[in-house]
Structure 1
Amino acid sequence: MVSPPFPGQAVSASRTRAVVESFRRALNTGDPQHLLDVLAPQVVLLSDGGGVKRAALHPVVGARKIVRFYSGGTAKVEGRLTSDPTVVNGNPAFFMRLNGEIEGVMALRVEDARIAGLYFVRSPEKLTHLGSETPLTLR
């Protein structure tokens, strides 16, 4: 097991997958109680719209505030919002799609078997490379 980059108890890979899947189901259904159950009480959400897309200007701290933020944001969306699992910088993440088109990427930090950090990038400029993979080669 690898130590987490932030304080807290490390979580096994299988438990991390279960927490991430539970969070994905909560996002896709929009169930506020399910979201509260999977978020750590002092979870932090950082978002980046690049000045082009709507995003929180300051960190959103606390599970209840994040659920209100998410519920309020999705209520204004016309269309279907879904999340598809991916990996960003070695961490679990989701492609957030609106009507099938990438709306953003949300990276997660899992700690003590709950979601402790959310990093949501919506800035179009920072998402341009998502259509391709960057191959890693040894020199």
Structure 2
Amino acid sequence: MSGDPFITHRRLLFTVAYEMLGSAADAEDVVQEAWLKWTNVDQADVRDPRAFLVRIVTRKALDQLRVLSRRREEYVGPWLPEPLLTTPDVAEDVELADSLSTAVLLVLETLTPTQRAVFVLHEVFDVGYDELAKAVGKSPTAVRQIAHRAREQVAARRPRGIISPADTRKALIALQWAIATGDLHDLVDILAPDVVVLGDGGGIKQALPRPVSGADKVARLFAAGLAGWGAGMTAELANVNGGPALIIWLDGELDSVVSMRIEDGLVSGIYTVRNPEKLSRMMQEAAVSR
């Protein structure tokens, strides 16, 4: 492979860091630190640059994840991952798109830092147990046990069945129609009985202070919202985190990004990010890959 291995693998490194941290800004910091480390090693002695670079990023992301865990305990209101504007081809890699989705990233938040690293690296990026052991500082046997527990936890919490971009797009179009016309009928018809809505304003923008659950409550929430939004709000479909999402504009300014979790054809989760610090990259496509 010609060229600087760091440049060759940079998209992969960013994706690993983002899936571990749920923050593009923090992922970029980790990748930058990895580059500084890379420039200070004797690269001629590195037999497998990809594995070496992934190991560096993993260790630095683990350190950052422990800091973020403490910071998120003080976060105002619900915390949601930072949305990424992605290219249409990302959706073609079903496993990558699934792992980038807001629904799955929220599931990963329930894991310990080491469990998250092991799950992401093994299940998404096909890193072997021996290499994983080096990355997280555990024995291969311990890593296998960690991987098993992480898989069980994720399987119990992740969306049921195959995620259908078509079903997601249909639900988002129903919300888009509601915003444009005030007609909630199509959206209410596809709400799961136990649907949950989360809003992330980060204490900067007004958002839901806590989750709202149940189809009736969510329908009333949207009815009240539509009544107050007025004519200045528009919504456009976009590729976000490897799947369909809505970018919401208010009086010509970027207001929020809405993504959904679909299970058995019904909307079981609606996630709205309004925190402007998490929307600063939404006009720039993120370079992600496996």
One-letter amino acid of the counterpart of residue 105, structure 1: V
Matched, 1:127 2:279: yes
Q: From 17, 20, 24, give the equivalent of 2:172.
A: 20
Residue 78 of structure 1: how far off its partner (Å): 4.5
Return closer, same or farther for 1:123/1:36 CA change in 2, 3 Å cut-off: same
Aligned length: 138
1:41 is aligned to 2:193: yes
Q: CA deviation at 1:19?
A: 3.5
Per-residue deviation, 1:130: 1.3
Q: Which residue of structure 2 lines up, in the alignment, with residue 50 of structure 1?
A: 202
Label 1:70 to 1:15 Cα distance change in 2 as closer, same or farther (>3 A): closer
Alignment partner of 1:83 is 2:216 = no
Report the CA distance between 1:58 and its aligned residue.
Answer: 0.8
Displacement of 1:24: 2.6
Which residue number in structure 2 is paired with residue 115 of structure 1? 267
Poorly superposed stretches of 4+, deviation over 6 Å:
1-4
Change (3 A) 1:62 1:134: same
1:39-95 deviation per Cα after TM superposition (whole angstroms, max 9, x unaligned): 212111110111121111111101221122122233233442121111222232110
1 or 2, which has the higher helix percentage?
Answer: 2
8 Å contact from structure 1 (residues 53, 123) kept in 2:
yes
Deviates further, 68-77 or 39-48: 68-77
Structure 1 residue 132: Cα displacement: 1.6
Structure 2 CA distance for aligned equivalents of residues 20 and 73 of structure 1: 16
Which protein is richer in strand relative to its size? 1
How far did 1:111 drift?
1.4
Once superposed, what is the RMSD of the aligned Cα atoms?
2.6
Q: Which has the larger radius of gyration?
A: 2
TM-aligned CA deviation for residue 108 of structure 1: 1.0
2:247 aligned to 78, 82, 95, which one?
A: 95
CA displacement, residues 3-46 of structure 1 (integer Å, 9 cap, x when unaligned): 89524232544444334333432343222322211221211111
TM-score by length of 1: 0.81
Structure 2 CA distance for aligned equivalents of residues 28 and 20 of structure 1:
12
Alignment partner of 1:131: what SS? coil
Q: 2:182 aligns with which of 13, 20, 30?
A: 30
Kept in 1: contact 2:168–2:260 (CA 8 A): no
